Chain A
Amino acid sequence: MDAEQLSRWQFAFTASFHFIFPPLSMGLGIMLIAIGVAYLRTNDTKWRQLAFFWTQVYGLIFALGVATGVVQEFEFGMNWAGYSRFVGNVFGSLLAAEGIFAFFLEGGFLGLMLFGGNRLGPKLWLGATTVVVFAAHFSALWIVMANSWMQTPDGYKLVTSNGTTTAELTDFLDVMLTPSFIPHILHVYVASWMAGAALVLSVSAWYLLHGRHVELARAGLRLAIPLFAVLAVTQVAIFGANQAISVTNNQPVKLAAIEGLWNDDSCAPLFLAGWVDESNQTTKGLSIPCLLSFLSYGSFDSTVQGLNSFNSDTWAPVNLSFQAYHLMIDIAMLLAFFGLVAAALYYWKDKLVRFRLGLWALVVSVVITEAAIIAGWWTTEVGRQPWVVWNLLRTEDAVSTTLTSAEVGFSLGMFVVLYAILLALFLFLLNGKIQRGPAELHDVETVPEASLPDSFREIFRRRGGRADTMPAGKPVGSEETKP
């Protein structure tokens, strides 16, 4: 393979791995806010116990997200210098805005969130958590904005000087609100919240199956079940559908590729699963007749354009994008089914907690939600090929010309080994955390809750911080090692 091919694989690999973590951060963050609100309203200590537990899990997920996130920013310049020169004016400013407005907020308040349990009263702790979660969403907003610009570029002009063409900014509002942006960001947010709710469902179901922490597990279900059911159903019916319509309108050749539609069809079928034979230009599989026409244009006899209506040098890898897309929608439908059944059993005389098979389905729900999210990104990114910026810049012209295949081969190999180790350690530590379960409050609370500052006035009035409330001269590090 040459340096370009290797760079494609490296970017696909590192971005896919990175994108395991941000949706979990956003979604689990929403769950933590719900837990914090529940505690403030009920004063029931089980919510406080859950807040300590899930905040620690959040820290672990966040660390992996940060560690693998910097790689993405560096790779634009390292592997895709042609791309960086071409889009820097536009795309770079969105990344810089993400840094200025979102990352500092997130990074700055993270310490208060992770270590807030013993330093802030419940209201301020929830406040710090809310700021971090808001910042995580804000950061995703800028990134999805930048990605949407690559799908449907707008608000720019092309300028050529000394033989180099660059995209220059003309209207920043148009850059921010390109036609694909709104459906895209809503789709991403809902998927992320599903992942967070699924993580809580998964762990709670595991505890119920093993008869441990039963009361806490029930509390987890109480928050996560209705949220997950509503999100999973609306993701299929509204947000995912809107995203598909956006692709239909803005990138018809991409729609043809991800649906494996070769010729124009006035009753285009929607595949549930299948296989594309690219050399014979056929697609076989299980399909519902005319449904694609209906979903795309609202009537069963609308014509959907096939790949042959477009120049073949603008086709994405058809089977790969087809498979990624159908993996995503099949999982999405399965999750909507899970959500509905779980909610029905839960609210119908509490049957869910005794339905072991159903609980096992919830245990795996987080893994398949993540799989659908990654498949969704493969759909949108592979489906955009051969372009890196839609209709403006081809991926093959975006690569750094100075790289050798040995260099990129080395770095790709390094990332594969490093990320495999990180994933193994992440799962090992996450599993350890889950198996130990939420600690008793008296084990995690080193300071009585009532003595913690719970308003800004209290923070800034107290001199020397927490030291006032601690016995003087307490030897440092006298506390037992971390549980």
Chain B
Amino acid sequence: LTLAEVWFVLFVLIIAGYLILDGFDFGVGIVQLVVARNDDERRMVLNSIGPVWDGNEVWIVLGGGVLFAAFPPVYASLFSGFYLAFILVLLVMILRTVAIEFRSKQDGRRWRSVWDTIFSVASLAIAFLFGVAFGNIISGVDLNQSGDINESLLDLLNPFALLVGLTAVSMFAVHGLLFLAVKTVGTLEERVRRYTPVALAVFFLLINVTVVITALTQDQISHRFVDDYWPFTFPGAALVAFFLCLRLIRIGLDFFAFLASAAMIGLLLASGAAGMYPNLLISSTDESFNLTVHNGAAANNTLEIMLAFAVIGIPLILLYTSGVYYFFRGKVELDADSY
């Protein structure tokens, strides 16, 4: 196992952390307008993520920093090649952040409904854009020898990527609904529970279509699975997590159903990562231009010092993050200083 391979695994884990944690924030935003009908309910929804959303968002900042340091050529090619897509991501991320913060600062009805809409649309857009980006990453991009990606925004919005984008939206909607079931009470909770099966059905349909189309059309990915077989563990385990989640919802263990959904999201990402490995960026023009764990990694000195940081830092992060979640556990309560 080389240092670069260790960092590939750690990078996937960090992105999984982001998708699981900020994922329920997106999900809550996606369903907010549907499940919450009045100001109190919307404040409940917003405050369910109130104390934690900012910490959750840090995972993507860490992901960006780790990609920059551990795989500099990949970071440079990906971010410059997906320029306009990332500009849109930034736009919706900024709008979403300020919507959370600004929404309850004024009483006006219109003020609040405008920010509610922005929060919801921006949450949906982020989930969708990350799905589209992921779709393009697994299907490969026009990457040349010097690491330049030549794709316009319209090229990135191809049918396969759009399908992955919709799948991502439905996945996070499920995740957010399961989180809200844990955090809310009353008619709001009833509505959350009513919409959960619908979202689960839509998601199950979309993810299966996505998997089948990936297997049929994305040769570089499907070869990895057929050549080695062990990568099948990840989608297999994701399927188990999905049915476990259904079972846990039925017997009323909401919190564990949420955990099962979290595990499923991590496993689906791992399935994609296993299919990609050792590639980080696949070139659709020539396989020899692929940026891989081997030709795209930083030098060992950097990877070593970063590993030391990760070994010291990440356990601490997990410790106090769980402390904060434990402190804010249970149903949402609204205070004068809540959002």
Contacts and interface: CB of A to CB of B under 8 A. Distances in A.
Interface of A: 52, 55-56, 59-60, 63-64, 66-71, 73-74, 76-79, 81-82, 84-85, 87-93, 95-101, 103-112, 114-115, 117-119, 159, 166, 168-170, 172, 400-403, 407, 410-411, 414, 418, 422, 425, 429, 432-433, 439, 443-447, 459, 464-467, 470, 475-477, 479, 481-483
Interface string B55-81: 111101110111011111101111111
A172 B52 CA distance: 33
B72 A166 contact: yes
B84 interface: yes
A117 B56 CA distance: 22
A78 B82 CA distance: 8
B252 interface: no
A93 B69 contact: yes
Q: Helix, strand, loop or mixed for chain B's interface?
A: helix
B236 interface: no
Contacts of A66: 54, 57, 97
Given A88-B298, A112-B51, A168-B302, A76 B68 contact: yes
B183 to A, nearest CB: 11
18 contacts: A60-B101, A67-B93, A70-B61, A70-B64, A85-B73, A95-B64, A95-B68, A96-B309, A99-B66, A100-B314, A100-B317, A101-B313, A118-B336, A168-B301, A169-B301, A476-B186, A476-B188, A476-B331
Interface in B72-109: 72-73, 75-81, 83-84, 86-87, 89-91, 93-94, 97-98, 100-102, 104-107
A465 B329 contact: yes
Enumerate the 7 nearest inter-chain pairs by beta-carbon distance, A residue then B residue, closest first. Answer: A88-B72, A111-B51, A77-B79, A477-B40, A92-B69, A92-B68, A100-B313
A425 to B, nearest CB: 6
Given A81-B79, A100-B309, 10 more contacts: A60-B101, A66-B57, A78-B80, A84-B79, A88-B298, A95-B64, A108-B58, A111-B55, A407-B83, A476-B185
Contacts of B329: 465
B150 interface: yes
Q: How large is the interface on B (under 10, 10 to 19, 20 to 34, 35 or more residues)?
A: 35 or more
Given A111-B50, A118-B336, A403 B80 contact: yes
A64 B299 contact: no
Given A96-B62, A98-B65, A446-B335, A467 B330 contact: yes
B175 interface: no
A109 B55 CA distance: 8
A109 B324 CA distance: 7
A87 B299 CA distance: 12
Nearest to A442: B336
B76 A88 contact: yes
Q: Which of A56, A63, A414, A433 has the most chain B CB atoms inside 10 A of its CB?
A: A63
Contacts of A59: 101
B41 A477 contact: yes
A110 B54 contact: yes
B58 A99 contact: yes
A71 B299 CA distance: 27
B301 A476 contact: no
B80 A114 contact: no
A59 B334 CA distance: 17
Nearest to A430: B105
Contacts of A418: 91, 94
Given A95-B69, A96-B309, A425-B98, A466 B333 contact: yes
Interface in B306-331: 306, 309-310, 313-314, 317, 320-321, 324, 327-331
Contact of B148 (A104, A111, A401, A466): A401
Contacts of B335: 115, 118, 446-447, 479
B77 to A, nearest CB: 7
A411 B84 CA distance: 8
Given A414-B87, A477-B44, A64 B58 contact: no
B149 interface: yes
Nearest to A131: B320
B85 to A, nearest CB: 10
Contact of B330 (A95, A166, A465): A465
A481 B47 CA distance: 13
A63 B103 CA distance: 12
A123 to B, nearest CB: 15
A74 B90 contact: yes
Contact of A63 (B41, B101, B147, B332): B101
B298 A89 contact: yes
Interface string B266-304: 000000000000000000000000000000001101100
A104 B66 CA distance: 14
B313 A111 contact: no
A129 B72 CA distance: 35
Interface string B29-53: 0000000000111011000001110
A170 B51 CA distance: 41
B216 interface: no
B309 A97 contact: yes
Nearest to B87: A411
A168 B94 CA distance: 34
B337 interface: yes
A444 B338 CA distance: 10
B98 A71 contact: no
B328 to A, nearest CB: 7
A378 to B, nearest CB: 23
Given A93-B305, A110-B55, A85 B65 contact: no
Interface in B136-162: 146-150
